[in-house]
Amino acid sequence: MGLEKIKVLVIDDSAVVRETMSQILNSDPEIEVIGTASDPIFAVNKIQSNRPDVITLDVEMPRMDGLSFLRKVNNLANPIPVVICSSKVEGGSDNALKAMEYGAAELILKPKMGTKVFLQESKIRICDAVKAAYRSKNKRNIAGMQGSFLKEIQPKLTADAILEKGSPRMTLETTEKIVAVGASTGGTEALAVFLKMLPIDAPGMVVVQHMPEHFTKSFAARLDSICSVSVKEAEDNDSIVRGRVLIAPGNKHTLIKRSGARYYVEVKDGPLVSRHRPSVDVLFRSAARYAGKNAIGVILTGMGDDGAKGMKEMKDSGSYNIAQDEATSIVWGMPGEAVKIGAVDKILPLQEIAHSVCNHAKIMQMSFKHLSVR
């Protein structure tokens, strides 16, 4: 049986880049360039006649920009993995964040000058990015590129890999409430809307947004610049306090812990959980374990089911949970799964979630004070 190659379509408005990328990719025995296109409009016909396994895509192109095309590709019933190769995706830039938001499998930053030499010197990086993109999105068992044997897809681990389920800790109800938030596809924009609507004295929050490392710090900084609350990338042992939002760092799991009356975060390494790191399920399980009825859970737009089981554990431990509704979600995967298993108390449009969180936190505080007086 012959070698099964990864079929690639190269889309770039530069003829030099198209030629150089084709030479680089074709030099790898596991990859075959099946076509090139100078812009996404030309690419559509080629995709229809010969569907590629992976697309390499520039951002700045005539007629349709790469990010718009990326978004359309990932809205297909069977999306094609895309590697963005552009000088416009510097780490932390709006383009880079949008590329990850819209589902780019890999990002390669081209220099503004000397692109041909850079591409030639980056041969291994480019070929590895294409292979990683293919493996990350391919639904089938992947033939380790040898065709004759199959490599098993890694098992989908649960939060048990990071924190055993156990029973919720005996947590005294306090006046201070904390909020655990999970989001994925569509989440960067949804979080901006949600967090901008929070008052400066909003309950302390911890957020898991599926995002690679090196992007979460700049994402947090951008949110901090537009919100009344303080927003920062979480660091190990950071306190969860009123008026502060902690964003889980990419490629690390973030857990809520408690010492006396103080809530704080633990940032740690570990395997992928629900195929993600950071994982919403891990965050929510830790909230169930250490915060219980002192917590509010929020699950926003996102593909897949990460967070659904963890939110059910939060509900079982006494927390109040909110899910973004289908109409305002980019993808109603994570919220929909949480609703399906009975983990949600209220389903709301995105624009109403901030008010509901703050209002419920006040009700919880008033209830606590009433019980304390009695």
pLDDT, tens only, 52-62: 999 999 999 98
Q: In terms of domains, do 147 and 163 share one?
A: no
Residue of higher predicted confidence among 343 and 159:
343
What is the CB neighbour count within 10 angstroms for residue 115?
Answer: 17
Indicate the pLDDT class of residue 330, thresholds 50, 70 and 90.
confident
Q: DSSP labels for 43-78?
A: HHHHHHHS--SEEEE-SS-SSS-HHHHHHHHHTSSS
| pLDDT range class, residue 20, cuts 50, 70, 90 | very high
Question: 172-184 pLDDT, tens per residue?
Answer: 555 679 999 999 8
Residue 1 covered by a domain:
no
Specify which residues 247 forms β-bridges with: 207, 233
Question: How far is Cα 363 from Cα 370, in angstroms, rounded to an integer?
Answer: 10
pLDDT at 142 over 50: no
- Residue in 28, 39, 53, 210 annotated catalytic: 210
**Looking at 151, 186, 209, which one is the last position of a domain?**
151
Indicate which CATH number applies to the domain containing 134. Answer: 3.40.50.2300
Residue 27 is among the residues annotated as catalytic for this protein: no
**What's residue 308's pLDDT?**
97
Q: What is the mean pLDDT of residues 119-139?
A: 77
Set 12, 53, 122, 184: catalytic member: 184
The answer to whether residue 65 is catalytic is no
With respect to residue 25, please indicate whether it lies within any of the assigned structural domains. yes
Q: Do 145 and 202 belong together in one domain? A: no
Q: State the pLDDT confidence band at 143, using cuts at 50, 70 and 90.
A: very low
Domain end, chosen from 123, 151, 179, is at 151
pLDDT class for 90, splitting at 50, 70, 90? confident
- Whether 5 has a pLDDT exceeding 80, the answer reads yes
Distance (Å, rounded) from C-alpha 276 to C-alpha 9? 28
CATH number at residue 329: 3.40.50.180
Query: Do 192 and 328 share a domain, yes or no?
Result: yes
The residues facing 256 across adjacent strands are 265
Q: Which of 117, 151, 185 is the last residue of a domain?
A: 151
Q: What is the pLDDT of residues 156-165, one digit of tens each?
A: 788 888 888 7
The mean pLDDT value for 247-264 works out to 94
Same domain, 134 and 272: no
| Predicted pLDDT of residue 236 | 98
Which among 53, 58, 305, 306 is annotated as catalytic?
Answer: 306
Query: Is 276 an active-site residue?
Result: no
Question: For the residues 300-316, what does the mean pLDDT come to?
Answer: 94
Domain that includes residue 194, residue range: 159-373
Distances (CA, A) of 355 to 195, 346, 362: 11, 13, 11
